Amino acid sequence: MCSYNDVFGFFISGPGISGNPNYQNNARNVATVPGTNTPVAINTVNQGFAGAYGSNAVCNAVSTNWQANSSYFVDNESNMSQSATQFDGFTVPFQVEVPVICGETYHIKLSIADAIDDKNDSAVFFEAGSFSSEAPLMAEVETLNSDVEGNAVEGCSSLRIVLNRPDSALSKTIYFETEGLENREAIIPELPDSIVFAAQDGHRVLNFDIESDFTYQGLRNFSLNILQPAVCSMDTAVISLPIDIIDFEEMVLEYPDTIALDCIDPAMIDIGVSGGRTPYQITWTDPEIDGFSPEIAIEDSTTIVGTVKDQCNIHEETVEVFIYRESYDDLSVSAPPAIAFNCYEEVFIEPIVSGGFGDYAYQWIQAGSVISEASALNQILELDGNIELVVSDRCASDVQRTIETNQLVNPITVNLGTDTTGVCTDLLTVVPEVSGGFGELQFQWKLNDNAVSSSASYSFYPQQTSAVKLKVTDVCGQEAEDDLMVMVEHIPMVTSLPEDTAICPRERLILDPEATGGMGELRYFWNETEIPSGVYSTMPAFDTSHFLRIKDECGKEIARQINIDVREVIANFEFKYDSTPIKIENSSSPNCLYEWSFPDGSGSSKFEPVIAQESLQDGQTTLFVINDIGCIAEARNPFEPPFKLFLPNAFTPDGDGVNDIFKAEGIFVKTFELRVFDRWGNLVFQSNSLDEGWDGSEPRIGSSYAVDNETYTYTYRAESITGKQTSGSGRVVVIR
């Protein structure tokens, strides 16, 4: 419901109609809620409560009893049917009847409009054929006893027609006719041409059997039309009821008319039925027999009779079967009296059997055990003893035959010949002489009790004196063996590879092992790498070990290891500049020879020589260090003593013997020059010796001492014993 109400009206006017004078032609609105004058609209027929966009007040303004009308409302919002429409709700079908005068003309108007909104819609639906000057007859048809598809079956189904008249005030005649059904009188003989509804008679149920016309036509469609002449004979209403009808072909039976039985088995009758309508029924004259596949147990010949009908009893056929038992001759079995066999070949015995029923059973028995149940024996005999054959037949007595067995013998012989000699470089092939045995022979060769081959012959390079043994086995388990000794001599290998040695670092060492003895060409492996010539070259930088393996063609080997001691020599020294004369500190390798060469051409062989400073100037000192195997290391260092000067920034020439002289201090100084100036730039002191200093006197002012707390400037220049030069300036304060 909402705040607006869509307009809907169904107006009828004409003779005898008294309606609303405000409507055209004094028309009457028949689109009202049943039993009221309330128009059918959104706000009068709904779910009975206000929706999201409506209110109870809006509906109360139209009809105070609008909530009771919800019984006429059908909720369609959750309808998932494929035939559902988009309308959220319907009214139940409303039926309207208005009395009219026969032969007069009436005017009917339908008015519907959408009020205000463009979102919600209203519609009016009419039942097809329901708009008539006479209340339409309602007819339904039901097919009873139909097939699984719902089709009516000739001779088996019936039709139930239900008729209802909404207006039963007057008597009424309705008529029946069929459309598309040939031979109607034979198929629906009980269908009348018409029936009469008496006054006040508004309901009628009619039942008609569908008979068979015994003419096969298969599935077809026809219509049962019900004709209802209208009031005033102006038109006729036709109700067409579609009906599907089917019939079936003649029933056909398939079965044996004669059955021959053996001496034991019962008769099995299989009756096949086609045509007619399933399910089928069969009735036998003998009440002990039942079904379409009965099992018949008889002693004497007999004839059995039965009747087959389809479901509707339209088709009926008779079954008649003659059953008798056959007679059989005694069994006759022919088999060989004796056979020869071995352990690996199949024996084949195919007996000739006749007589009896022919469904023979066989048992081949040996040593009390059944070894086969085939009609012919075709297998390897694994047991000893004669074979008993028993042949059985269901309709004759058993027959037994004895077959003698004779086992064949063929012993194996093996000969490897006389003992022999061999060389590891020559391939030795042993070919045995073998005879006898059954089937494929198996060979097992052993060399010094180790399995080596399964071939018919054995080839090998003898490495040492060895025992060759052969065992031959056939498929029957027979065995024979022989052995052979192969004598082998071997010349031992000797190598001249030296013992462990010592070398200088990165000195090339050539290792050339000379080997004698062995068999054939020798192969050399240094550190597991083969070197064809055997000569190995190395320049190790540190202690190492090398491994030599020499192998001859027979696989014999000798191995040696040589350890190489790399004697590294270190030469290194420093001058001790704080000693006089100069001492040299030697940090070279110990226990070696030391050869010193000094810049003045002198030399020494002491470990740490002491030498005058003058001998070290003007060049480099060289040291050669030689170890016990002649490895040499060399070290060269120049004589570069530290060149240092120090000048104080104040002194006190007061004659107390402490800091009375201004002078420079230095080490390894060769020449030195000092000049002192007063504040006016006058030279007051000059010296060319590091040992000579200024006592503070100043001759310019006629005084032997400078002014108290006077500041003087100075300059200096010096050269070291190695020729390095330095110069500078500074200030010094005289304090008294």
Beta bridge partners of 242: 223
CA 219, CA 587: separation in Å to the nearest integer? 128
**Tokens (6 digits) for 232:** 């005033």
**Tokens (6 digits) for 650:** 């104040």
- Confidence (pLDDT) at 234: 53
Percent of the chain with pLDDT over 90: 42
Nearest to 643 by CA among 719, 715, 729: 719
How confident is the model over 56-84, as a mean pLDDT? 76
**Tokens (6 digits) for 240:** 């067409």
Q: 232 pLDDT exceeds 70?
A: no
- Confidence (pLDDT) at 130: 66
CA 38, CA 718: separation in Å to the nearest integer? 139
CA 200, CA 198: separation in Å to the nearest integer? 6
Q: 27 pLDDT exceeds 60?
A: yes
Domains of the chain: 7-113 (no CATH), 138-246 (2.60.40), 252-325 (2.60.40.10), 332-407 (2.60.40.10), 413-487 (2.60.40.10), 494-566 (2.60.40.10), 573-638 (2.60.40), 644-734 (2.60.40)
**Tokens (6 digits) for 217:** 């036509």
- Measure the N-to-C terminal CA separation of the chain; round to a whole number of Å: 127
Distances (CA, A) of 548 to 58, 97, 494, 503, 554: 118, 129, 12, 19, 18
Question: Residue 199, Cβ neighbours under 10 Å: how many?
Answer: 10
Q: 276 pLDDT exceeds 90?
A: no
Cβ neighbors of 263 (< 8 A, separation 6 or more) are 325, 326, 328, 357, 394, 395
- Confidence (pLDDT) at 699: 67
How confident is the model over 93-102, as a mean pLDDT? 78
Q: 635 pLDDT exceeds 80?
A: yes
In eight-state DSSP terms, residue 247 is: -
Beta bridge partners of 671: 719
CA 61, CA 44: separation in Å to the nearest integer? 10
Q: Are 480 and 471 in contact (CB under 8 A)?
A: yes
In eight-state DSSP terms, residue 491 is: P
Q: In which band, very low, low, confident or very high, does the pLDDT at 192 lie, cut at 50, 70 and 90?
A: very high
In eight-state DSSP terms, residue 647 is: -
CA 602, CA 599: separation in Å to the nearest integer? 7
Residue 647's identity, in one-letter code, is: L
**Tokens (6 digits) for 6:** 């869509």
| pLDDT tens per residue, range 438-447 | 989 999 999 9
- Confidence (pLDDT) at 89: 82
CA 60, CA 39: separation in Å to the nearest integer? 13
Q: In which band, very low, low, confident or very high, does the pLDDT at 706 lie, cut at 50, 70 and 90?
A: low
| pLDDT tens per residue, range 448-468 | 999 999 999 999 988 888 999
Q: Are 259 and 322 in contact (CB under 8 A)?
A: yes
CA atoms within 13 A on the CB side of 501: 15
- Confidence (pLDDT) at 335: 94
In eight-state DSSP terms, residue 266 is: P
Q: How far is CA 161 from the centre of its chain?
A: 65
Residue 286's identity, in one-letter code, is: D
Instruction: Find the helix or strand (DSSP H, E) in which 187 lies.
Output: helix 184-187
User: Which long-range contacts link 48-56 to residues 24+ away (Cβ below 8 Å)?
Assistant: 48/73, 50/1, 51/1, 51/2, 53/2, 53/3, 54/1, 54/2, 54/3, 55/3
Q: Are 518 and 423 in contact (CB under 8 A)?
A: no
- Confidence (pLDDT) at 703: 55
Instruction: Find the helix or strand (DSSP H, E) in which 728 lies.
Output: strand 725-734
- Confidence (pLDDT) at 688: 93
- Confidence (pLDDT) at 351: 95
CA 475, CA 344: separation in Å to the nearest integer? 6
Q: Are 266 and 297 in contact (CB under 8 A)?
A: yes
- Confidence (pLDDT) at 667: 85
The better pLDDT of the pair 665, 83 is held by 665
Query: Beta-strand (E) ranges in 567-695?
Result: 573-576, 582-586, 593-597, 603-604, 610-611, 620-626, 632-638, 644-646, 650-651, 665-667, 669-677, 683-687
Distances (CA, A) of 166 to 1, 130, 170, 232, 652: 33, 11, 11, 18, 156
How confident is the model over 630-658, as a mean pLDDT? 89
3-state helix, strand, coil in the chain (%, to 5): 5, 45, 55
Q: Helix, strand or coil for residue 59?
A: helix
- Confidence (pLDDT) at 62: 73
Q: Are 546 and 562 in contact (CB under 8 A)?
A: yes
Residue 432's identity, in one-letter code, is: P
Q: Helix, strand or coil for residue 531?
A: coil
CA 139, CA 159: separation in Å to the nearest integer? 13
Q: What single string gives the DSSP state of each residue in 114-169?
A: --S-SS--------TT--SSSPPPEEEEEEES--TTS-EETTT-EEEEEEE-S--S
How confident is the model over 155-174, as a mean pLDDT? 86
Question: Residue 629, Cβ neighbours under 10 Å: how many?
Answer: 13
How confident is the model over 558-564, as a mean pLDDT? 92
How confident is the model over 644-654, as a mean pLDDT? 89
Residue 175's identity, in one-letter code, is: Y
Residue 573, exposed/middle/buried by CB under 10 A (0-12, 13-18, 19+)?
buried
Q: Are 668 and 643 in contact (CB under 8 A)?
A: yes
- Confidence (pLDDT) at 47: 81
